[in-house]
Chain A
């Protein structure tokens, strides 16, 4: 269960939602307002087609208490075009963010051992032109932040970072579940009621 902080309130921590949805105009807004109506900031949001045709997958990161996160998950899953919602702590997921860094080629080539810099930061050069070079790295927030610090002295021109993408460690994928959703009468797979069995861990309809 969640731990309590000094004032006796449950601790907020980072949670990642994984949301499987139909590909529908306006659904992003419908999901976003579930957070904003409670004045909760979305720290990171990624939406992209999933491995299954016509199904979209969202990753949403917020900092909240588990109690609130569980309620949010149910309110998201309640939306007509949402198939399934999971929420996980950072321990339950593998996640990455990708970042791009644009620096002046002259400075970086003259003053730095580029090869070492790339190796130490797990980065690679995506584009090398006479006037500028673009590096790319992926990793956790502190890793992509670290490279900013390294490149700042060499005249970092521009930096951009993607939203978090996350894989749930103990997931079995969505293909089997989707087949159940497509059936008029759901079978065992949807009857399985993770919320009731593992009440504090996962939620499902």
Chain B
């Protein structure tokens, strides 16, 4: 009786109101703190767009020029802000255009909620106009997906979508909503966020004994080495991580996705790992005695040849995703859990130390790398400009405070190697998937995600042409994105491989470009081409100081190579300086 009375009271306070599925969706988004949506309308999502017409004051919808641009913008937004990116697309081609971005977000653990329209439920399976089996197409590239055919499901499903996207190891979620469910009026009892799904444990339970084992190993180590990845940033554990590094005095290197979690200027930050990473971190991976991996997944671009990777070292692996433990590298001590919680527990047990002579080994390698590679890249003796010197000049102007959004290829490696990162969430790039065309739309999203920080997209001449149409989005929204095109008139990374491994058989890497400045001009975006070193600094300054967007095309050496390099199939200690 008492229970029944309580239930009645709850029902009375929770007044339901008749709304459409579309309105319930928008209310749910607002309740989840969504401010910006990146999207493109179409037939099967029209009821949602119709509802959106009345929500102009609460939700900022950014009309992109292609759904791929929309999802990359959502990714840029999520990566720069730490919030969930929200993307709308219609059924059929609209939804299939999301697939590249979903795959990118899945492999780089980016929290997204994508809403796609779908044909009426009664038409499912009939090859209706713009019908595609979106759920099955996107299953391998989503953390979770679900098809809604009844409006009553919408509040709960959207709550689950946000919870799944942002909790644990984040990832993209896609919700496909049939048109009838968008239109259907139902009793909406208000929105309840989700905080528990019985089949889903976002955070594994922390086991103290393994933290103790890890601490014992680390405390006894003579040559410990920390390698960190994006997990530190996703776990919002930058401060905790810095404290661990500083107390233990252990040299620390980063994967491309981990860049900026602690400043590139920090004395214990010894540089970037991987195929085009720094010399010392790669070579000394095969010399350290304890390798402490934090929030990283031993990608093949980081490990090089696996059977010759850190074989001498005992590996401690901190990760929130149990499936990452022992996936590629055998772990001595697995420390499962949210690194925001595990790192401080570990730090407490670590001895305060300085590994002076071990750290000096890294410095030695840095000196060799500076001499053999970095000096010439940053202060070239050639008449033509290098990508590296552009980044050096940019560092002087921004002092590492900007958000650097890069595309994929040589310019990406150079930017990540040489850019100063003073703040976390400063490096937005397509790491795992290597998606050319990522940078321009991701930069747009990044700016919406952090409107107070300068956002600088650094893109190659090839990748820029893959999503060039998003200049239209910049034009229409007036978003302030600085665009640097490093133009070497080649698909540079493939050309580099063809030079090094295919006897200079330059097969389809010689790419022509339009007059980028004119194209930008057509969209009302001011721009400039720089071909001479003398104009570089002033042009970059002009770009940075310009009021809104600006496109700066910089002509760089055609056939420059990115070094150091761990050739494919080689061990990290076989890294080449030339």
Contacts and interface: CB of A to CB of B under 8 A. Distances in A.
A184 B163 CA distance: 14
B327 to A, nearest CB: 6
A148 B9 CA distance: 66
Contact of A37 (B140, B146, B327): B140
B136 interface: yes
Interface string B368-403: 000000000000000000000000000000000000
Contacts of A195: 322
Interface stretch (A71-79, A128-136, A153-161, A165-173): A71-79
Interface in A114-154: none
B143 A184 contact: no
B139 A181 contact: no
Interface in B307-322: 321-322
A29 B139 contact: yes
Nearest to B209: A196
B210 A78 contact: no
Looking at A25, A80, A186, which has the most chain B CB atoms within 10 Å of its CB?
A80
B201 interface: yes
B197 interface: yes
The size class of the interface chain A forms with chain B is 20 to 34
Identify the interface centre among B144, B146, B198, B321: most chain A CB within 10 Å of its CB. Answer: B198
Interface string A163-205: 0000000000000001001101010001101011000000001
B319 to A, nearest CB: 11
B455 interface: no
B201 A184 contact: no
A67 to B, nearest CB: 9
A12 interface: no
Contact of B205 (A22, A80, A178, A193): A193
Interface residues of B, number: 28
A70 B322 CA distance: 11
A109 interface: no
Interface in A88-102: none
B198 A205 contact: no
A193 B207 contact: yes
Given A30-B139, A75-B323, A190 B201 contact: yes
A21 B199 contact: yes
Contacts of B205: 186, 190-191, 193
B153 interface: no
Contact of B199 (A29, A33, A74, A181): A181
Given A75-B323, A184-B196, A196 B139 contact: no
Contact of B135 (A26, A80, A186): A26
A78 B204 CA distance: 11
Contacts of A71: 323, 326-327
B322 A205 contact: yes
A83 interface: yes
Nearest to B205: A191
B145 interface: yes
A80 B199 contact: yes
Contact of A83 (B145, B198, B207): B198
Interface of A: 21-22, 25-26, 29-30, 33, 37, 70-71, 74-75, 77-78, 80-83, 178, 181-182, 184, 186, 190-191, 193, 195-196, 205
